[in-house]
Amino acid sequence: MRVMPMSKPPLDDLLKVSSNRYVLAIVAAKYARVLTDKAIAGLLDDTVKPVSKALEEIANLKVKHTPPGRGIK
């Protein structure tokens, strides 16, 4: 099985936004879900995949997130 690396946006650009890869994955998944819902409603075109668009907007600082707190509360 051959794994294709992600090329756009580069992971280095995404890690400048947040140093935690897991937080980036969660933020991208949640925002991609929002984009999918908008595409289904006809508010966005669906030519670009939602996860790709979400990662691109995170890298361009269009999507903001707060880092999670530390420890269990």
Range of the domain at 33: 24-65
Whether 56 is covered by a domain: the verdict is yes
* pTM (2 d.p.): 0.76
Instruction: Work out the angle between the directed axes of helices 50-59 and 21-40 (0-180°, nearest 10).
Output: 130
Per-residue pLDDT reduced to its tens digit, 26-72: 999 999 999 999 998 988 887 888 998 999 999 999 988 777 777 66
Domain count for the chain: 1
Cβ-based burial of 65 (10 A; exposed 0-12, middle 13-18, buried ≥19): middle
Secondary structure class of 7 (helix, strand, coil): coil
Q: Is 71 left (phi over 0), alpha (psi -120 to 50) or beta?
A: left
Q: Is 40 left (phi over 0), alpha (psi -120 to 50) or beta?
A: alpha
Whether 61 is covered by a domain: the verdict is yes
Whether 12 is covered by a domain: the verdict is no
Whether 14 is covered by a domain: the verdict is no
**Which of the four pLDDT bands, split at 50, 70 and 90, describes residue 6?**
low
Whether 40 is covered by a domain: the verdict is yes
